[in-house]
Amino acid sequence: MLKGKTVIVGVCGGIAAYKVVDVVSRLRKLGAEVEIIMTENAIKFVTPLTFQSISHRPVITDMFKEPEYWDIQHISLAKKADIIVIAPATANIIGKIAGGIADDMLSTVVMAAKAPVLFVPAMNCNMYENPIVQKNIKALTAQGYMFMEPDTGMLAEGTQGKGRLPEPPDIVKEIIRILTVKKDMKGLKVLITAGPTREPIDPVRYISNRSSGKMGYAVAQAAADRGASVRLISGPVSISSPYNVDIVNVLTASEMHAEVMKSYKDFDIIIMVAAVADYKSAEISDIKIKKKDDEMYLKLERNPDILKELGGVKGKRLLVGTCAETNDLLENAKEKLQAKNLDMIVANDVTMEGAGFEAETNIIKIIKRGGKIRELPIMSKLACAHEILNEIMTLGGYIKCL
Ligand code: CTP
């Protein structure tokens, strides 16, 4: 799967360094050539010999050691890399690279490289959550560097928290994803909405729906992986953020409406995956509402239909909607396609096993303007996301005039 690919693995000084031995072994088994650079602190945790034995290559530990090759080593390494993976990525290396410091082999190679760089942070949870580290991650992400989120669990110091190195198979999966995905959306700007909206009733209660955000987040991840510049306007969710995506968090349908209408003009493709609440409470109480009678009536009023409004102003932009239904799937989807002036709609029947809200999979039907329908079998939400984007990319006539 990775034959002909060169992966540079930068190992930093953290207890999770030992897990990276397994990552290297898995990459080698998939056919990749793996070059290891260890920082000065990394060799205090795992010996270079361990990595050398697994990678079958000399391990680079010192910038000024007699080089293995006659050429300038950090430049030649940077050139041959298809991807650079920094694992465990410590607060120190993240800070150094964010600050433009290149004072050892790893930071120098990263600075000289044009290949994608994937950071896999692992550190104490307080360190990871430190605003300085978070600011550095945000700044690097904005520059196109990629990050995996640490796992949550027992940390080396015996406390629970977010800071564990993700499991080696997950790291390898991420590397494969980055190396094998086609970049056919490069240059396109895509606006995506995801998740539910939350409509407050009083300070402790709200109206919402069961959307998990997984489908919309998968579409955002897939588009970013394919080279698009992606903004994700997200309702409240509790899933990990996609990498390389500009995320704007909102709570209510009105906030989502305002954000979408503020920015849609800057985008070529708009995909509304959010489950926007159609109604909100007509009045929001400042204080907790107390129970009184046996019955209680809540007056609701309509929220704006964001997609319908976009349909009226879309111009040459491609507009894609989604609908989750329990009955008359195709009829409802076709009606929404017409009524909201869409180019395409993605429909799923949430009553089917494997197509529900919290599921990792989905069963979708894609209906294009003109009536062409494509029915897909059950597949992961990320695979569905790629199929949706494949279909969008076949709307070539539109894409060309963007
Ligand atoms: N949508 C929207 N604004 C709303 C409601 C829906 O932008 N207030 C968008 C959704 O993001 C989705 C599409 O419209 O892309 C269809 O949403 P859905 O809830 O299925 O349809 P509705 O038009 O709300 O119709 P109904 O709830 O009556 O089925």
pLDDT, residue 401, reads 44
Residue 390: band (very low, low, confident or very high) from pLDDT cuts 50, 70, 90: very high
The CATH 3.40.50.1950 portion of the chain extends over 6-180
Q: List, in sequence order, the alpha helices (H) in 100-213.
A: 105-112, 125-129, 131-142, 168-180
Pocket mutation for ligand 1, best pick of 261, 278, 280, 335 (most atoms within 8 Å of C-beta): 278
pLDDT for the residue 82: 93
> 44: how many CB neighbours lie within 10 A of its CB?
11
Query: What are the tens digits of pLDDT across the range 335-377?
Result: 999 999 999 999 999 999 989 788 889 999 999 999 899 999 9
Q: What residue ranges line ligand 1, CB within 6 angstroms?
A: 253, 272, 274, 276, 278, 303, 305-307, 321-323, 336
Is residue 141 very low, low, confident or very high in pLDDT (cuts 50, 70, 90)?
Answer: confident
| pLDDT given at position 117 | 94
Instruction: Read off the pLDDT of each residue in 55-68 and give the average, rounded to a whole number.
Output: 78
Averaged pLDDT for residues 163-172: 96
Instruction: Tell me which fold the domain 189-392 belongs to.
Output: Rossmann fold (3.40.50)
Strand pairing of 83-89 and 117-121? parallel
What pLDDT, in 10s, does the model give residues 76-134?
888 899 999 999 999 999 999 999 999 999 999 999 988 889 999 999 999 999 999 99
Residues of the chain with CATH 3.40.50.10300: 189-392
Residue 384 has pLDDT above 90, yes or no: yes
Average pLDDT value for residue range 151-178: 91
The model's confidence at residue 400, banded by pLDDT at 50, 70 and 90, is: very low
The edge-to-edge listing of strands for the beta sheet with 318-325 is: 246-249, 229-234, 189-194, 269-272, 318-325, 344-349, 364-368, 373-375
Whether the predicted pLDDT of 175 surpasses 80: yes
Q: Which helix (H) or strand (E) holds 162?
A: strand 160-164
Residue whose C-alpha is closest to residue 218's, from 249, 241, 197, 247: 241
Residue nearest to atom 4 of ligand 1 (CA): 305
CATH class of the domain comprising 6-180: alpha beta
Model confidence pLDDT, tens digit, residues 205-262: 999 999 999 999 999 999 998 999 999 999 999 988 887 889 999 999 999 999 999 9
| Mean pLDDT in residue range 188-210 | 97
User: 0.85 cut: is pTM over it?
Assistant: no
Continuous segment of H or E residues that includes residue 146: strand 146-147
306-313 helix and 253-263 helix, angle to the nearest 10 degrees: 20
Q: Give the model confidence (pLDDT) of 284-324 as tens digits.
A: 999 999 999 999 999 999 999 999 999 999 999 999 999 99
User: How many angstroms is it from 322 CA to the middle of ligand 1?
Assistant: 8
- Measured between its terminal Cα atoms, the distance across the chain in Å is 35
Report the separation in Å between the CA atom of 281 and the middle of ligand 1, taken as the mean of its atom positions: 18
**CA separation, residue 188 to residues 166, 179, 238, 366 (Å):** 31, 20, 28, 21
Cα separations in angstroms, 347 against 193, 207, 277, 324, 393: 16, 23, 17, 6, 18
Which of 232, 280, 307, 308 best tests ligand 1's pocket when mutated (most atoms within 8 Å of CB)? 307
Per-residue pLDDT at 142 exceeds 90: no
Q: What is the mean pLDDT of the chain?
A: 92
Calculate how far, in angstroms, residue 143's C-alpha sits from the geometric centre of ligand 1: 34
pLDDT score recorded for residue 398:
52
358: CB partners within 8 A, 6+ apart = 210, 212, 214
Mutate to test the pocket of ligand 1, among 272, 314, 337, 341 (most ligand atoms within 8 A of CB): 272
